[in-house]
Amino acid sequence: MVSEARLLVKMRRCGLSVPAVWDLDYEGGQLIIEYLPGRPLIEVLNDESTTSQMVEHLLQRVGASVRRLHREAITHGDLSTNNILIDGDQVHLIDFGLASIEYDVERFGIDLHVLDEILGASHPQWEGAIDHVIKGYLDAESAMGEAPVLQGGKVPSATEVHTRLEDVRTRVRYHG
C-alpha cells in the first residue's frame, strides 16, 4: 500500500493520468485516492455501439499511456481492461497494487503481454486489438524521443519492449 502510494505520487508528478493520493492511513490500512471519471475499457470494448474506428483510436491512446508509464521505469503489473478508464479521449490508468519500478526489459514485455492475453480472451470480437496498442506505444516513443536515463539506469526503448513482447508471446503459447 505504501509502495502504491509512492508510485502514484511519482506518476502524478510526471504528468501521468492516474489517481491523486489524498490520504494514507498506514495503521488503518487505507489508501484514499481521487475518483477518476470514465468507463473501464472492458465496458467500452463490450459496448455494442463501439465502432472499430473508436477501438483503433482508443487502443492507440492506451498504448501511448502505457509507454509514458514505462518511460518512468514503472510496470503496472496488472494491465487489464478493468484497470484502464476511458473518459472521452482521456485514458486513465488505475489500480497500481502490483506496480513496481523496473529496468529489466522482460518486465515491460510481460506488462504488455498481460494486456495482449486479456484483449484476446475477453474481447475476441476485436481481432488484432494488441496491434493498435503497440502502434500507440511505438508512436509515443517516436513523438517523445529516446527513453530517459533515470536514477536506476536506462529505461528500455519501445522497440526493445516490443521485441521482448514478441519473445514472451512465443514462450508462453501452447505448442501441441
Residues forming the active site: 78
C-alpha cell at 63: 498504448
The residue type at 151:
Q
Question: 33, 9 in Cβ contact below 8 A?
Answer: no
Task: Give the dihedral of Cα atoms 132, 133, 138, 139; nearest 10 deg.
Answer: 60
- Closest by alpha carbon to 70, among 96, 41, 101, 91? 101
Question: 58, 44 in Cβ contact below 8 A?
Answer: yes
- What's the rounded Cα separation, in Å, for the pair 113 and 127? 15
